[in-house]
Amino acid sequence: MQPENHLTLDDGNQDRYQLLIAHAPVCIHEIDLEGRLTYMNPAGLAMVDSNLDKVCGCRYLDFVSDKDRAKVERLMEKALAGEASEFEFSFEFEGQVLTFSSSFIPIRNPEGQVEKLMGITQDLTVPKQAETERERLILELESKNADLERFVYTVSHELKTPLVTISGFAGILHNDLTKGKTKAVEQHVDRITSAIATMNHLLDELLEMSRVGRVDNDFEPVPLGEIVAEVVESLHFQLADQNADVRIADDLPVVHGNRLRLYEVIQNLLENAIKFRKESFPIKISIDAHDTDDGVMCRVQDDGIGIEPEYRERIFDLFERLDPQIPGTGVGLALVRRIIENMGGKVRVESDGPGKGSTFILFFPRQK
């Protein structure tokens, strides 16, 4: 009795089968009992970029990567013993790893002995790459969604604070006025006005954040030296007030970015260097840069209050402030990070700890 996967081509439909095989859009091949290719259809020959004379006689296993060869060899032995199989394997061609799906179908002679194997092989490289890319995009989207959720939560929380103040003082004001108490009215109105100003400031900064990467994406070569000089000039009075010693290296590089945004980066870092100074010292700030293998590092160094190691990541989060007594919104460094990352760069801070100053390091990748 013939086994179930018995297949013969002597059923009078040979011409039709041959036509199908010749025009099939997948590689169809035959392998002899020694594991050598004896036939490959035109689609297969196009796949290996060869012709029938060259392909016939080649070992099938030579088209399989070292990594998958033992597995495929085992399946081939089983197929020669009569067991069909489907499998995937990879092959390295001109430096690129290609992925294929393939099969071994035992073909038997009228006596029921396996006389050769047929197989169908399909190039899965492009669909596999598309699948990997799809998975990457899904992960990226999920992470962006999580960021967005966190962002909405933090923003609404932060905007609530001035609102609570406003509603609280409006209530007190209402009570006072109904009772004819007018003594503290001016004070309460001041508190309300100040909370409104805080909220306005927060909203302006958030709007600024949302613009990064959405608009202002026209990058150009920007000489950092010019930007630093302009910011230092704009902060002239604050710096003079502190008797600041500002040292700017004269070899600051030209980087590829948005001029206005880079101005904001330097402005935020220098304003922070002034704001987070040590009380007793005339402040020292230095700005320099050096080349690395893959780009340029620019350092903005101060001798201010410094930062504890555990906060060096957190200060770049939105609304993160280490000392609520010092005025600020906690948006500046989040904006700095967003701008620099939008340029393909990175920013981090180094500090030897409280009282030991801080160094903000901006990395600008080399333009390819």
Tell me which residues touch ligand ADP (CB under 6 A): 268, 272-273, 276, 302, 304-305, 307, 315, 320-323, 328-334, 358
Nearer to ligand ADP among residue 166 and residue 335 (C-beta): 335
Nearer to ligand ADP among residue 31 and residue 300 (C-beta): 300
Contacts 24+ apart (CB under 8 A), 9-15: 9/107, 10/110
Nearer to ligand ADP among residue 96 and residue 243 (C-beta): 243
CA quadruple 160, 162, 166, 172: dihedral, nearest 10: 100
For 89, the token pair is 């394997």
Nearer to ligand ADP among residue 108 and residue 284 (C-beta): 284
Nearer to ligand ADP among residue 88 and residue 271 (C-beta): 271
| Least distance between ligand ADP and beta carbon 329 (Å) | 5
| Least distance between ligand ADP and beta carbon 285 (Å) | 9
| Nearest CA among 102, 109, 52 for reference residue 82 | 109
Nearer to ligand ADP among residue 221 and residue 354 (C-beta): 354
| Least distance between ligand ADP and beta carbon 213 (Å) | 18
| Least distance between ligand ADP and beta carbon 190 (Å) | 22
Contact indicator for 237, 275 with CB cutoff of 8 Å: no
| Least distance between ligand ADP and beta carbon 359 (Å) | 9
CA–CA dist 102, 99 (Å, integer): 10
Q: Which residue has tokens 């490289």? A: 125
| Least distance between ligand ADP and beta carbon 220 (Å) | 26
Q: Which residue has tokens 């990748």? A: 365
CA–CA dist 97, 93 (Å, integer): 6
Displacement of CA 32 from its chain's centroid (Å) = 49
| Least distance between ligand ADP and beta carbon 302 (Å) | 5
Which residues are paired to 350 by β-bridges? 359
Nearer to ligand ADP among residue 35 and residue 306 (C-beta): 306
| Least distance between ligand ADP and beta carbon 202 (Å) | 10
Contact indicator for 265, 315 with CB cutoff of 8 Å: no
Q: At what angle do helices 185-211 and 332-342 cross, to 10 degrees?
A: 10
- E strands within the chain? 27-31, 37-40, 85-93, 96-108, 114-123, 220-223, 245-248, 254-257, 284-292, 295-302, 346-350, 358-365
Nearer to ligand ADP among residue 12 and residue 327 (C-beta): 327
